[in-house]
Amino acid sequence: MDQKRVLLVNDLPGYGKVALAGMMSVLSRMGYEVLNLPTALLSSTLDLGKYEIMDTTAYMRGCLRVWEEMGITHDAICTGFVLSEEQNSLVEELCRRGREKGEKIFVDPIMGDGGRLYNGMTGQTVERMKGLCAWADVAIPNMTEAAFLADCYRGQPQVEAYQLREMAERICGLGARAVVITSAVVGGKSQVYGYEKESGKSFSVPYEQIPLRLPGTGDLFAAFLAGCCLRGMSLEGCVRKTVNILERLILADQKAGGGCKGIPVERYWEELGV
């Protein structure tokens, strides 16, 4: 079987194991050939409070042009942080063309958390991200991002199961084929919620909320999920496996005294059995 090639579109930190720095490791370990298209270069993870950032839009355009001239293709695209309106249009067109060619498209619509948009994100950002999610085979928002994409239940720390389904259906109404909502809370219990448009099937995978902030866990979740999906597993099976891996990974890093620079995933391959 030919080795599948995955294109990752996200920011790249010089210091810290988040975004591309973590995702490339995960998908390479899972046996995929990885291409990376950085949307920005960062001196360090944003959680450290001080950073330098470089917009790489011009490089992205040039890189995609060269790859096209060289005949370099890919089987899947996994998107994360997008810096600007111009970049969003570029990435949306990339995903549109990819899905029309049969590539698998995974979109992590990074916009906010904790009931609020991140600094610098606006209503226009939300509208642009809706356009990107329209081409997703699987959209992977957290609870806050799902509420903004669906235009409902914003700022609610907890929702009912039927409200999760409503949000997922609205996001699929944009064009996404499936939605996986992370960090959902129903009845005081944390869960990851999944919904598939074609079958109308929904499911939830409970997990134990660990009172610890670790940057980059969303990026790792998206990478593991995409890697499992590309192996032909059911979406529910992929989510269950990914949740299990992330729980063990976070606990292992907590035990090792990890900090705010992300999880060094390579350190835990053997105990994860990935």
- Give the DSSP letter of residue 267: G
Selection from 230, 171, 197 nearest residue 7 by Cα: 230
CATH superfamily of the domain spanning 5-272: Ribokinase (3.40.1190.20)
Confidence category of residue 175, pLDDT binned at 50, 70, 90: very high
pLDDT computed for residue 214 by the predictor = 80
Mean pLDDT of the chain: 94
Q: How many CA atoms lie within 13 A of 274 on its CB side?
A: 27
**Distance (Å, rounded) from C-alpha 75 to C-alpha 180?**
21
Output 258 or 167, whichever has higher pLDDT: 167
Per the model's pLDDT, the better-predicted residue between 51 and 230 turns out to be 230
**Nearest in space to 202 (alpha carbons), one of 238, 161, 147, 257:** 161
pTM of the complete model: 0.96
The stretch 242-271 carries a mean pLDDT of 86
Distance (Å, rounded) from C-alpha 252 to C-alpha 12? 24
pLDDT, tens digit, for every residue of 103-150? 999 999 999 998 999 988 999 999 999 999 999 999 999 999 999 999
